[in-house]
Amino acid sequence: MKTNFDQVINRHATGSVKWDFIDRYQNMDTENLLPMWVSDYDFACPPNVLDALHKRVDHGVFGYSERDEKYYSALTGWFERRHQLTIKPEWICSIEGVVPGLSLLVQMLSQVGDNVVVQGPYYGSFAKIIQLNQRKLLENPLQEDSEAGYVMDLAQLEMLFSEYRPPLFILCNPHNPTGRCWSKEELTRLLALCDKYDVTVLSDEIWADLLLPGSTFTSVLHLDSRWHSRVIAATSASKTFGLSSLRISNFLIPSSGLKARFIDRLNAHGLDVFNALSMAAATEAYNGSEQWLNELLDYLAANRDWFVSRVERDLPWLRVVPAQGTYLVWIDCRALGLSDEQLKHVMTDIAGIAPSMGSGFGPYGSGFIRINLGCPRSYLEQAINGLLRIGAQ
């Protein structure tokens, strides 16, 4: 039985950051906004995952838990089937979330005052973990491209590597917020530079399963094993299957030395206990939710096609940036000629929507918004109707 992704599920009064805490996190005080900012679904998670959670809850005992063989085989099997990527079980380190793991790695692999490179526009939590750990954010801006959306500025990156000698580069692949999936050729050139200048790559790959039709995903782990000593990939079932609040992710670390140091770091912070419900959900998701995901990807692609066609037809002052992955749309609003504060005002007070403001993704996000398409079509219709009111002003 196919999933009905058009079903509207009321998320109010569930502690949802996206629906219940817009004012706290976005400083948007207007009531009755349509939230399109946080990158989580407004869909229920896969039915078999719900069944697994019910079964585990019915067991009734929630003592200390550990990942079993079924958990490891579910994860490795998924990447083999879905991405033709062979992951060795001994590479896997689990932690409660990708961002906490990246933060620990920033602490582990750099010193206070060191530079850490990101590509702008960048996910805001990258800036947070760099700066709050007393490192310096070193931005290598992406270049806008009419066909791909964005491309890496590798010449500028080499200059930064040469002049500032950063020990770390945080990669987002597929890229949030732009939706760019980096090609094998781009990643190969990137890793060659990292090898030349002794830079370790932390690759956030949590969007890997969420590809648009015709696109492919290349992990840093797909590339030559000679680079495995300087790459760490982070992944999670959370984005793919809508499990964000269950808080489990996996860092894939081929280097035994780096892995041992990371395990020590986890133990030093007491992060050596795992949530029984999270493991049950992730295991079942990877083992039995592939058909659900295929149906979801069809729905998300149709959402994007519909949204883009409406923008192109009715909202010529907006431009949707081309993408290859994620369920986000990165929208250029610069033709409106507004400041970021004015843009925020028209989105909330006129359109009645709460997008992610591009200014939250660093200076190269100024003039943009990010909208989440992981929702029933009726929400997108409401959003378009709101955006039309801006054009009528």
Interatomic CA distance for residues 347 and 366, integer angstroms: 14
Output the pLDDT for position 273: 86
pLDDT, one tens digit per residue, over 351-371 is 999 999 999 999 999 999 999
Output the pLDDT for position 211: 98
DSSP structure string for 277-289: HHHHHHHHHHHH-
Output the pLDDT for position 30: 59
**Largest Cα–Cα separation, the chain:** 60
Residue 268, both tokens: 């030093």
- The dotted CATH code for 17-46+288-391 is 3.90.1150.10
Mean pLDDT of 337-358: 96
Mean pLDDT of 246-264: 96
- Sequence ranges of the domains in the chain: 17-46+288-391, 61-287
Output the pLDDT for position 27: 72
pLDDT of 94 over the 70 cut = yes
pLDDT, one tens digit per residue, over 36-61 is 999 999 999 999 999 999 999 999 99
**At residue 14, what is the residue type?**
T
Output the pLDDT for position 323: 98
Output the pLDDT for position 376: 98
pLDDT, one tens digit per residue, over 205-216 is 999 999 999 999
- pLDDT over 90 percentage in the chain: 95
> Cα 347 to the chain's mean position, in Å?
23
Residues 6 or more apart from 45 whose CB is under 8 A from it? 241, 242, 243, 281, 285
**Per CATH, the architecture of 61-287 is what?**
3-Layer(aba) Sandwich (3.40)
Output the pLDDT for position 91: 98
Mean pLDDT of 274-299: 97
- Poorest-pLDDT segment among 24-33, 338-347, 380-389: 24-33
Long-range pairs, 187-193, Cβ under 8 A, ≥24 = 187/218, 187/220, 187/223, 188/223, 188/224, 189/154, 190/152, 190/154, 190/157, 191/220, 191/223, 191/227, 191/230, 191/231, 193/154, 193/157, 193/158, 193/161
**Given this chain, do its domains 17-46+288-391 and 61-287 carry the same CATH topology?**
no
pLDDT of 320 over the 70 cut = yes
pLDDT top residue among 92 and 31: 92
Q: What's the whole-number average pLDDT of the chain?
A: 96
- This prediction has a pTM of 0.96
Characterize the bridge pairing of strands 328-332 and 319-320: antiparallel
328 close to 304: Cβ distance less than 8 angstroms = no
